[in-house]
Every structure is written in C-alpha cells, then in structure tokens.
C-alpha cells in the first residue's frame, strides 16, 4: 500500500564542541579530535510526518508545521551554544543525540495535531547526518 509523507526543511546556526565530562582536555582531544574545540555548523533539519489527508487537501498545513518546529526547536537552537542547553548537560551534542531529542519533543507535539512524526533528519554538514525513524 502506498504511504504519503510530507517534509519540511529548517536551518539553524549553532556552536558546539564534543567532549565527555569525565575526560581530561587531552583525553577529549584524543577522543574527538578537532571537534573537541568550539566550532559552528549550519544545521539542516528535515521533519517528515504522515497522517490522513484532510478535506482541505493537507496532512498538516506546512505553516502550522513550521510554527511548531520553530517554537519548540529553532527558537532555542538558532545562534545558541548547544552544550549550554539543559538537554545536553550530560550528553555529547552529536547529530545522534540531537536528532533523538528533537524526535522525542516533536513526536509529542505532533501527536496533538493528530499526525505522526515518521522521520527526523539532522545534517551537521552536507556530508554528515543522522536519521531517526518512527518504529513501524
Ligand atoms: N557519528 C558522529 N560523528 C561525528 C559527529 C557526530 O555528531 N556524530 N560530529 C562531529 C563534529 O561535530 C564535526 O564538526 C563534524 O564532523 P565531520 O563530518 O568530520 O566534519 P568535516 O567538516 O570534516 O566534514 P566534511 O564534509 O567531510 O569536510 C565529528 N564526528
Ligand atoms: Zn561539530
């Protein structure tokens, strides 16, 4: 059976460094290399949802999707220092951890809109990204 999804793309700029609290600076340099130094990315975030097509012809108005993602994620992440955000106090700010957190937050919000979040893709660079998918 065919499955319909819709996707919206967002961008945000943020700074971070990769480190583990329990390691010394030297050990973090050895573990994470250049990424243990503060640096920035223009992140690209793709949000994909599915649901019933409503009488207006839409699963969810892209404008409404934009408002939710901007309020819950972009407003907090854009021009931020990611390591200072509460959710990453004890977690490395990897694409993996960030996409898992974003999925958890948005899945709950989108459920209230009667749609299902099927995929979050977070690109740290154009060649490096993480994908979290909804369990079938
Ligand atoms: N599995 C992961 N590996 C790495 C992550 C990550 O989140 N998950 N993050 C980093 C760094 O943040 C780094 O800034 C990005 O790494 P990399 O893709 O190597 O960056 P480049 O600028 O070298 O990318 P190119 O497009 O290949 O030039 C490291 N690893
Ligand atoms: Zn990085």
Among residues 135, 124, 74, the alpha carbon closest in space to that of 96 is found at 124
Work out the average pLDDT over 67-89: 98
- Asked if the 6-133 domain carries CATH number 3.30.479.10, the reply is yes
Which of 29, 35, 42, 91 has the most ligand 1 atoms within 8 A of CB, as the residue to mutate? 35
The domain locations on the chain are 6-133
Give pTM, 2 decimals.
0.96
List, edge to edge, every strand of the sheet that includes 80-81.
80-81, 6-16, 39-50, 116-125, 128-133
**Quick check: 116 and 134 in contact, CB under 8 A?**
yes
Nearest 5°: CA angle at 77, between 68 and 135?
Answer: 55
Active-site residue flag, 134: no
Residue 134 annotated as lining a ligand binding site: no
pLDDT at 136 exceeding the cut of 90 = no
Query: Which residue among 30, 44, 70, 124 is the active-site one?
Result: 124
pLDDT tens-digit series, residues 105-115: 999 999 999 99
């Amino acid at each position: 059976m065919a499955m319909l999804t819709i996707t919206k793309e967002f961008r945000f700029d943020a700074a971070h460094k990769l480190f583990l609290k329990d390691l010394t600076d030297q050990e973090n340099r050895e573990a994470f290399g250049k990424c243990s130094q503060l640096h920035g990315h223009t992140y690209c975030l793709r949000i994909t949802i599915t649901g019933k097509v409503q009488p207006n012809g839409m699963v969810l108005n892209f404008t409404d999707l934009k408002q939710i993602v901007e309020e819950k994620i972009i407003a907090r992440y854009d021009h931020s220092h990611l390591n200072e955000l509460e959710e990453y106090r004890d977690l490395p700010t990897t694409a993996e951890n960030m996409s898992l957190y974003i999925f958890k937050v948005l899945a709950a919000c989108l459920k209230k809109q009667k749609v299902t979040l099927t995929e979050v893709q977070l690109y740290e660079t154009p060649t490096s990204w993480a994908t979290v998918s909804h369990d079938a």
